[in-house]
């Protein structure tokens, strides 16, 4: 079963606009990671935020984490057509092994 929900399920924007995707989860976590997937192929790791962090930046990406609300958001600024992909959040819980629990993903389409 999936850990939580991603919102929206699909997002369509124009190049240059910002894209915001949200992720909610159900249980306590060790960290939360965001991945990108192009055309049903392998996952590309974007950013990891630990449970004791509230915000993290990487290039055009900004991730926030609110553990009290069990939610995270991914902001992509100044989007490009090449950002078109599916985006997944994945949580790593308290188990002794590194199991990641994924949401169902947000499909982002950036129109040139």
Partner 1 sequence: ETGVTQSPTHLIKTRGQQVTLRCSSQSGHNTVSWYQQALGQGPQFIFQYYREEENGRGNFPPRFSGLQFPNYSSELNVNALELDDSALYLCASSSGTSGRDEQFFGPGTRLTVL
Residue 31 C-beta: closest distance to partner 1, Å? 7
Question: If you count DSSP H runs as helices and E runs as strands, how many of each does the chain have, helices first?
Answer: 0, 11
100 contributes a contact to partner 1 by CB under 8 A: yes
Nearest to 11 by CA among 21, 1, 3: 21
Binding mask 47-76 for partner 1 (x = CB under 8 A): -x-x--------------------------
Q: Residue 42, SS3?
A: coil
Residue 2 C-beta: closest distance to partner 1, Å? 6
The two structure tokens encoding residue 96: 């002794």
Q: List binders of partner 1 among 9-28 (CB under 8 A).
A: none
Of the ranges 14-22, 43-51, 54-62, 67-75, which one interacts with partner 1 (CB under 8 A)?
Answer: 43-51
Q: Residue 80, SS3?
A: coil
């Amino acid at each position: 079963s999936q850990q939580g929900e991603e919102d929206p399920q699909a997002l369509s924007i124009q190049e240059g606009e910002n894209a915001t995707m949200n992720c909610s989860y159900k249980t306590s976590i060790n960290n939360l990671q965001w991945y990108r997937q192009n055309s049903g192929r392998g996952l590309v790791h974007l950013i990891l935020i630990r449970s004791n962090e509230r915000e993290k930046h990487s290039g055009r990406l900004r991730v926030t984490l609110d553990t009290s609300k069990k939610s995270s958001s991914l902001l992509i600024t100044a989007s490009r057509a090449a950002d078109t992909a599916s985006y997944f959040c994945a949580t790593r819980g308290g188990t002794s092994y590194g199991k990641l629990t994924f949401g169902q993903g947000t499909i982002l389409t950036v129109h040139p």
